[in-house]
Amino acid sequence: MTRFSATLPMMLNATLDAVMPAYRELFARYQLTEQQWRILRVLWEDHSLPTAELSKRTLLPAPSLVGILDRLEKKGLVQRLRSDEDRRVVCVIPTEAGQALELEIRPQVAAIHEAITQRVTPQEWEALSQILSKIQAGSANQRPGEARRHSQEHTPIQTDQGPRVLATTK
């Protein structure tokens, strides 16, 4: 059995514990939570998103998103707009104050990111990104235990009891 500290969840949590303090300190200076930051960061890239897509992109459950958006709206950083075509759709956009915050905070976030990426080579960073993307893509469509079955080749072999299919790991 894999050592507990070598399991993916523990390695990811330990990595978050190593990198998040600098981000948390920055967010605290601007009275932002990590969840509020995620929302703003996504909106700064795409400017306007329906709440369902925002929930998906920020990994925040829709019920939690409502309260977080309420607080961001109260701070004057985002605005919710109901769609004219489909009143069930609510889009979120950054306000002028939200956009001004981006200009102020982005260089500081870039400096933190740079300090983190300097700990590894560009090739290692790219490999890490590819590996994590591969794990995420596989996890989206598989239940536990399926990964091993799907990553096996089935090779026919001849046994003394006739032909059989042997599963071998790729």
* DSSP assignment string, the chain: ---GGGSHHHHHHHHHHHHHHHHHHHHHHTT--HHHHHHHHHHHHHS-EEHHHHHHHHT--HHHHHHHHHHHHHTTSEEEEE-SS-TT-EEEEE-HHHHHHHHHHHHHHHHHHHHHHTTS-HHHHHHHHHHHHHHHHHHHT--TTHHHHHTEEEEEEEETTEEEEEEEE-
pLDDT score of 29: 97
What average pLDDT values come out for the chain (170 residues) when binned by 10 residues? 93 95 96 96 95 96 96 97 89 97 96 96 95 86 53 42 42
Compute the chain's Rg from CA coordinates. Answer: 22
pLDDT score of 145: 57
Whether the Cβ atoms of residue 170 and residue 148 lie closer than 8 Å to each other: no
Whether the Cβ atoms of residue 26 and residue 105 lie closer than 8 Å to each other: yes
Distances (CA, A) of 65 to 51, 55, 61, 69, 147: 8, 7, 6, 6, 32
Whether the Cβ atoms of residue 25 and residue 33 lie closer than 8 Å to each other: no
Total-model pTM: 0.76
User: Which residue is listed with tokens 């239940």?
Assistant: 143
pLDDT score of 152: 42
pLDDT score of 170: 39
pLDDT score of 156: 43
pLDDT score of 86: 87
CA–CA separation, 76 and 52 (whole Å): 21
95: tokens are 């306000």
pLDDT score of 149: 45
